[in-house]
Amino acid sequence: MEELKERIIKEGQVIGSNILKVDRFLNHQIDPVFMQRIGKQFAKLFAPQNISKVITIESSGIAPAVMTGLALQVPVIFIRKKKPVTANEEVLVTDVYSFTKKVTNTIYIEKGLLTPDDRVLIIDDFLANGEASLGLVRLIELSGAKVAGIGIVVEKSFQEGRRRLDQAGYAVHSLARVASLEKGEVQFLD
C-alpha cells in the first residue's frame, strides 16, 4: 500500500535497528480516515475468504480491525492481555510471549464467541516474531473455528514472524513489508 509506505517514511521514527515507531497515525495517535482506507484494503484482499469475524489483540490492533470489520460488515473481537472482572469462568486461554516487553501475557476468549462455523480474519498492527498472531491462531483453533487469513499493517520482514506464519500454512497479507531498519533508515521489500 503506497500511501502507508509514504507515511512510514514521512512520519515513522526508527529506534535502534529493531523498532519502528509510527505513533502519529497508528500507535498513540490514530488517523481514523487513513485507518478506514486500511480497513477497506484488508476487506478487498480477504473478500474471497468469506470472513465471518475479525479478531485482534489490544490495543493498537483495534483501530485497523474495527475498520476492517466495518468494511466487511462483520463483528470484531478484541482479545485482552488481562482477564477483566466481568469475564465469566467459561474462557479459553493461551500464553503469548512479548520479545519487545519481555513478558508473558495470558490472553483469553470467552467460550461461544467463536463457533466451528466461523471463518476468522486476524488483524494486527505489527508482525515481528509472530507470537501475538500465533496466540490468536491458537484461541481461534481452540474455539473450533477456522483461521481464514492474517492481515498485518506493518510487517518487519527481517524478524521471524512472517516465515513462521507462512510455514504454518496461513494466508498472510501485509500492507507494508519492512526489509531493514539498519542505519536509521526504513527499507521496504520489493
Instruction: Tell me the pairing of strands 76-79 and 53-57.
Output: parallel
- Report CA-CA distances (Å) from 71 to 63, 174, 184: 12, 17, 35
Q: Which residues, 4 to 23, sit near its own copies by CB under 8 A?
A: 15, 19, 21, 23
Query: Which stretch, 55-63, 130-138, 141-149, 173-181, contacts its own copies (CB under 8 A)?
Result: 55-63
Report the residue number, 13 or 163, with the smaller CB distance to its own copies: 13
Contact with its own copies (CB under 8 A) among 17, 50, 100, 187 = 100
Q: Is 57 helix (H, G, I), strand (E, B) or coil?
A: strand
Residue 178 CA to its chain's centroid (Å): 15
Total residues at interface with its own copies (CB under 8 A):
36
Q: How far is the CB of 157 from its own copies (least distance, A)?
A: 19
Q: Which residues, 128 to 187, sit near its own copies by CB under 8 A?
A: none
Q: How far is the CB of 167 from its own copies (least distance, A)?
A: 28
Closest of 108, 41, 115 to residue 75, by C-alpha: 115
Contacts by residues 29-36 (CB-CB < 8 Å, ≥ 24 positions apart): 30/63, 32/63, 32/67, 34/3, 34/7, 35/63, 35/64, 35/67, 36/67, 36/70, 36/71
Q: How far is the CB of 66 from its own copies (least distance, A)?
A: 5
The DSSP annotation for 73-94 comes to: T--EEEEBSS--TT--S-EEEE
Please tell me whether residue 93 binds its own copies under the rule CB under 8 A: no
Please tell me whether residue 78 binds its own copies under the rule CB under 8 A: yes
Please tell me whether residue 75 binds its own copies under the rule CB under 8 A: yes
Question: What residues line the site for its own copies (CB under 8 A)?
Answer: 15, 19, 21, 23, 27-33, 35-36, 58-59, 62-63, 66-67, 69-70, 73-78, 80, 84-86, 100-101, 109-110, 113
